[in-house]
A and B are shown apart, each in its own frame.
Chain A
Amino acid sequence: MEALLIKVEKRNDVSPSIYFLTPILAIFLTLIGGAIIFYVLGFNPIEALKFFFVTPISDLYGLSELLVKATPLCLIAIGLSFCFKSNNWNIGAEGQLIFGGIVGGGVALLFYGHDGFYVLPIIILSGAIGGMIFALIPAILKTYFNTNEILVSLMLVYVAKLLLDYLVVGPWSNPEGFNFPETRQFSESARMPILFDGLRIHAGIFITLATVFLSWLILYKTYLGFQIKVSGLSLKTAKYAGYKGKTMIIIVFIISGACAGLAGVGEITGPIGQLHRNISPDYGFTAIIVAFLGRLNPVGIIFASLVVALTYLGAETAQIFLQVPKYTGQVFQGMILFFLLGSDYLLFFKIKFLGLRKNEL
């Protein structure tokens, strides 16, 4: 019997600069992977990549679209970083986004026809609260009944989706809408202010930027942030230090739910302007990739959200110019995650080949 002996060893000396450079390596590898895929499909790989990654942002409108897509991604990913840093695996940001959208949208419909500066803040706040409440479900089930938050939060995504479906088809559907599955268009007072005429970029970006700053402050300058960091590195130590584990789980879920809810309400009051079946192209799931690509670091997440937002735009351009399905975007997102996890593995472990050896036992 012959066996190839492979040994995996942990590395102890990972330098911080390489830690933050590997995401860039992952993006580079994704580009190479993408080029190969396009080549196999019969396209000139350089041309195709240009259509994918350069054409979409070669004019002002494109840049604005990039920010429109990056705004929710960044916001959700920031929220998720609180959970992930403290070892809480909230996979259901998509559901929290939708539920935030539902609550915010409901309030917007309630204020239909109202004018007043107070309308939009109330809607935004109710969206955040909606996301929070929806994130509280897996948090409470985890703390008091020991359920697995990955499963619960993931399954709740479908609950939110079906609830939204029911509302826009049934009770909330537009009375003048010819039975289309959508609500009325919200009033002007319930819409995010547009920043530039003719572009879709809206005031939501300021909410995102403020959240990034606030998160940085909380994570690196407060006792709460310190507790999150310690819990993420060692739950045993957190227990020994006397941190209130249950309270912390609730807090990080509330923060991440609120962020997802804000993203949802930002979408429906921003570019969409009403509720319908597809208020999110899986931002809540894609944001998981953004969070890890950004190394759970607020600044890193800003850059990561721009890169991943580009895959959304590129997919649309590629669909128009190359007639490939827009799901190519998800292929690219998948590749980014794959290469990131792959290079992380090689970053933290080294693999030793001990050569072929005869087993004589």
Chain B
Amino acid sequence: MNTKLIISKISKIYPGCIANDKVSLEFGSGKIYALLGENGAGKSTLVKILSGVVKPDEGEVFLNNENIKLNSPLDAKKNNIGMVFQHFNLFETLSVFENLSIDSSKKNEELRLQVNDILKKYNFKIDLDIPVLNLSAGQKQKVEIIRCLIRNPKVLIMDEPTSVLTEQETDDLFVSLKKFSQEGILIIYITHKLKEVLSLCDEVAVMRKGKVVSVSSTNEEKIESLANKMVGENLSTIKKKINNFKNSEEILKISNLNFISDDPYETNLINLNFSLKKGECLGIAGISGNGQSELFQILSGEIITESTSIMFRQKEISKLNPRERREYLMAFSPEDRISQAAVPELKIYENVALNNFKSSNFFEKGLVNEKKIKEHSKKILSNFSVNTDNVELKSQFLSGGNLQKLIIGRELITSPELLVCFNPTWGLDVGAINYIHETLININEQGKSSIVISTDNDELLRLSDRICVIYKGKLSKIMDASTVTPEKLGILMGGGSID
């Protein structure tokens, strides 16, 4: 099977932004192609055009020299273009097989035979008759891949497939993808992770601001060269100093942290104990859904538990709510910046007022002191280089990076002794990530402590002094960051053990 896919001068313009600007690319089967770019570079739009979700304003797509019209996802399926999105489209409560049979026209018996063949051929181990909600993220992704394979795809597009996977699952995936490629399936791999491009792909196209800026073979590239192409400037990265905290004062001590939830979709936390020194950064790694969100809420005071003891600067604060904890100089930056850390419909200064600490005088005698809040907001906008000085702007109009700078700024401008943050750079572009990381390293150097809960191991290795892993609500032993490797983290994140 020889497949040739040509994209010719595709343009897509959204109000206020050119998502794709005359993009032309050629792909041939037998190779794995990477499409690399920051968030907002136009990768997703291009993928949506190829999968029929979005119609281009201009340009054509040729599959084996035939001009194909992709007006809907059905057209993409008809032309044997398969797509695995970053977020899974599976019915959680239906069984694996039911999920596969929903959009198949084949008879059940026939389909089951075919699926079993696929399972055997690629050595996938999935029970077809258990509900999807019992599967791990890696298994769910395999179900999505099987769903594409059933249709004998000529082209398989993977959109940021490793963001939810462990190191081991990622390795598995890469083995499968290479196999598909050898069988003649054309693979387009969308990512912003540079290492993956180099280890998996044969060719790489870099996109920036809607344009293709470079197409090259991966053996001509290095991480630095790709990063610079992606960002379009030479990045300087600051490195964290290695510190010894043996003689530092202990600032936080958590003992006996237990949490049993009534909600089956939440994770129970089992006997967590840890402590933190002044100026130290503790990184907590793990695949999402292993109790991170519950742990964050207990640290912030959104969830109050009976047995837990939280000693912060020699005071017991476990029964205090988030506002009261802020009075003791704690600060929190939750994972969900759009619907929790800020309200998109509120103006910037109103979002700043959410962090109402006592000395702020935002609300004197119960009345809103708008002038004070606005002055304070202006200070945050300029100190944390948010890309606007209009405090009346609704925060929904801020980009992800600017919103996160605003939130981190709001939390840090009160000089807290401890910042707890959860996936602080999730979904941000390289520039913003770098800025947030520098900010977090800076506060440690000023003697303030931080806890970073993150699913991004590179981030944790860069920021943390000590690292542990959360798996199914339990914490691994806490290790010095200098002794930790991504492989070690991967094993712990998948539930394995190391000595």
The digit string for B290-306, where 1 denotes a CB below 8 A from any CB of A, is: 00000000001110000
CB of B17 to closest CB in A, whole Å: 14
- B350 contacts A226, CB within 8 Å? yes
- 12 A-B residue pairs with Cβ-Cβ distance under 8 Å, sorted by A, are A222-B363, A222-B367, A223-B367, A226-B350, A226-B368, A237-B340, A239-B302, A240-B300, A240-B302, A241-B322, A241-B356, A243-B323
- B340 contacts A234, CB within 8 Å? yes
- A237 contacts B367, CB within 8 Å? no
B284-339 with Cβ < 8 A to chain A? 300-302, 321-326, 332, 334, 336, 339
Bound-state Cα–Cα, A244 to B320, Å: 11
- B366 contacts A224, CB within 8 Å? yes
B44-68 with Cβ < 8 A to chain A? none
- Chain B's closest residue to A354 (CB) is B72
Bound-state Cα–Cα, A354 to B74, Å: 13
Q: Report if B200 contacts A (CB, 8 A).
A: no
Kindly list chain B residues whose C-beta atoms are within 8 Å of the C-beta of A221. 367-368
Q: Report if A361 contacts B (CB, 8 A).
A: yes
Residues of chain B having any CB pair with chain A under 8 Å:
72, 74, 78, 103-105, 300-302, 321-326, 332, 334, 336, 339-343, 345-346, 350, 353-356, 363, 366-368, 396
Bound-state Cα–Cα, A222 to B339, Å: 23
- B354 contacts A234, CB within 8 Å? no
Bound-state Cα–Cα, A351 to B105, Å: 29
Q: Of the candidates B74, B321, B325, which one forms a contact with A360 in the assembled complex, judged by CB atoms under 8 Å apart?
A: B74
Bound-state Cα–Cα, A236 to B321, Å: 14
Kindly list chain B residues whose C-beta atoms are within 8 Å of the C-beta of A224. 366
A180-225 with Cβ < 8 A to chain B? 220-225
- A357 contacts B72, CB within 8 Å? yes
Q: Of the candidates A229, A233, A242, which one forms a contact with B322 in the assembled complex, judged by CB atoms under 8 Å apart?
A: A242
Q: Of the candidates A12, A220, A230, A357, which one forms a contact with B354 in the assembled complex, judged by CB atoms under 8 Å apart?
A: A230
Bound-state Cα–Cα, A12 to B16, Å: 14
Kindly list chain A residues whose C-beta atoms are within 8 Å of the C-beta of B356. 223, 241
- A233 with B321: in contact, given A224-B366, A357-B72 (CB under 8 Å)? no
- B342 contacts A237, CB within 8 Å? yes
Bound-state Cα–Cα, A359 to B102, Å: 13
- B346 contacts A230, CB within 8 Å? yes
CB of A247 to closest CB in B, whole Å: 11
- B363 contacts A223, CB within 8 Å? yes
Which residue among A221, A229, A240, A360 has the maximum number of chain B CB atoms within 10 Å of its CB? Answer: A240
- B340 contacts A236, CB within 8 Å? yes
Kindly list chain A residues whose C-beta atoms are within 8 Å of the C-beta of B324. 242
CB of B416 to closest CB in A, whole Å: 14
- Chain A's closest residue to B362 (CB) is A223
- B323 contacts A241, CB within 8 Å? yes
- A222 contacts B368, CB within 8 Å? yes
- B345 contacts A233, CB within 8 Å? yes
Kindly list chain A residues whose C-beta atoms are within 8 Å of the C-beta of B332. 240
CB of A246 to closest CB in B, whole Å: 11
- A242 contacts B326, CB within 8 Å? yes
- B322 contacts A361, CB within 8 Å? no
- A241 with B368: in contact, given A233-B346, A236-B336, A357-B74 (CB under 8 Å)? no
Kindly list chain A residues whose C-beta atoms are within 8 Å of the C-beta of B346. 229-230, 233
Bound-state Cα–Cα, A232 to B197, Å: 45
- B104 contacts A361, CB within 8 Å? yes
The 9 tightest CB contacts between A and B, nearest first, are: A242-B323, A242-B322, A223-B363, A242-B321, A236-B340, A241-B354, A233-B343, A361-B105, A239-B302
Bound-state Cα–Cα, A224 to B363, Å: 10
Residues of chain A having any CB pair with chain B under 8 Å:
5, 12, 220-226, 229-230, 233-234, 236-237, 239-244, 354, 357, 359-361
Bound-state Cα–Cα, A233 to B396, Å: 13
- B345 contacts A237, CB within 8 Å? no
- A12 with B336: in contact, given A222-B366, A233-B343 (CB under 8 Å)? no
Kindly list chain A residues whose C-beta atoms are within 8 Å of the C-beta of B367. 221-223
Bound-state Cα–Cα, A220 to B341, Å: 22
Bound-state Cα–Cα, A236 to B293, Å: 13
- B396 contacts A223, CB within 8 Å? no
CB of A260 to closest CB in B, whole Å: 24
CB of B436 to closest CB in A, whole Å: 19
Kindly list chain A residues whose C-beta atoms are within 8 Å of the C-beta of B301. 242
- B339 contacts A234, CB within 8 Å? yes
CB of B98 to closest CB in A, whole Å: 15
- B363 contacts A226, CB within 8 Å? yes
Bound-state Cα–Cα, A236 to B103, Å: 36
- A223 contacts B366, CB within 8 Å? yes
- Chain A's closest residue to B338 (CB) is A234
- Chain B's closest residue to A220 (CB) is B368
Bound-state Cα–Cα, A287 to B323, Å: 36
- B355 contacts A241, CB within 8 Å? yes
Bound-state Cα–Cα, A232 to B438, Å: 35
CB of B329 to closest CB in A, whole Å: 14
CB of A93 to closest CB in B, whole Å: 26
Q: Of the candidates B103, B302, B355, B366, which one forms a contact with A361 in the assembled complex, judged by CB atoms under 8 Å apart?
A: B103
Kindly list chain B residues whose C-beta atoms are within 8 Å of the C-beta of A230. 343, 346, 354
Bound-state Cα–Cα, A361 to B104, Å: 6
CB of A152 to closest CB in B, whole Å: 21
CB of A83 to closest CB in B, whole Å: 19
Kindly list 20 other residue pairs between chains A and B, CB separation below 8 angstroms, not including A221-B367, A223-B366.
A220-B368, A221-B368, A222-B363, A222-B367, A222-B368, A223-B356, A224-B366, A237-B339, A237-B340, A237-B341, A237-B342, A239-B302, A240-B302, A240-B340, A241-B322, A241-B323, A241-B354, A241-B355, A243-B323, A361-B103
CB of B342 to closest CB in A, whole Å: 7
Bound-state Cα–Cα, A242 to B104, Å: 49
CB of A185 to closest CB in B, whole Å: 43
- Chain A's closest residue to B346 (CB) is A233
Kindly list chain A residues whose C-beta atoms are within 8 Å of the C-beta of B78. 360
Q: Of the candidates A12, A225, A226, A237, which one forms a contact with B396 in the assembled complex, judged by CB atoms under 8 Å apart?
A: A12
Kindly list chain B residues whose C-beta atoms are within 8 Å of the C-beta of A220. 368
- B334 contacts A240, CB within 8 Å? yes
- B341 contacts A240, CB within 8 Å? yes
Bound-state Cα–Cα, A101 to B322, Å: 41
Bound-state Cα–Cα, A267 to B325, Å: 48
Kindly list chain A residues whose C-beta atoms are within 8 Å of the C-beta of B341. 237, 240
Kindly list chain B residues whose C-beta atoms are within 8 Å of the C-beta of A240. 300, 302, 322, 332, 334, 340-341, 354
Bound-state Cα–Cα, A145 to B228, Å: 58
Bound-state Cα–Cα, A230 to B347, Å: 11
- Chain B's closest residue to A240 (CB) is B340
Bound-state Cα–Cα, A361 to B100, Å: 13
Bound-state Cα–Cα, A230 to B354, Å: 9
CB of B259 to closest CB in A, whole Å: 16
Bound-state Cα–Cα, A304 to B300, Å: 43
CB of B478 to closest CB in A, whole Å: 27
CB of B397 to closest CB in A, whole Å: 9
Kindly list chain B residues whose C-beta atoms are within 8 Å of the C-beta of A229. 346
Kindly list chain B residues whose C-beta atoms are within 8 Å of the C-beta of A360. 74, 78
CB of B310 to closest CB in A, whole Å: 15
CB of A241 to closest CB in B, whole Å: 4
Bound-state Cα–Cα, A309 to B461, Å: 67
Kindly list chain A residues whose C-beta atoms are within 8 Å of the C-beta of B326. 242
- A234 contacts B343, CB within 8 Å? yes
Bound-state Cα–Cα, A258 to B343, Å: 30
Bound-state Cα–Cα, A12 to B344, Å: 10
Kindly list chain A residues whose C-beta atoms are within 8 Å of the C-beta of B325. 242
Bound-state Cα–Cα, A243 to B354, Å: 9
Kindly list chain A residues whose C-beta atoms are within 8 Å of the C-beta of B104. 361
Bound-state Cα–Cα, A226 to B323, Å: 15
- B343 contacts A237, CB within 8 Å? yes
Kindly list chain A residues whose C-beta atoms are within 8 Å of the C-beta of B103. 361
Kindly list chain B residues whose C-beta atoms are within 8 Å of the C-beta of A237. 339-343, 354
Kindly list chain A residues whose C-beta atoms are within 8 Å of the C-beta of B323. 241-243
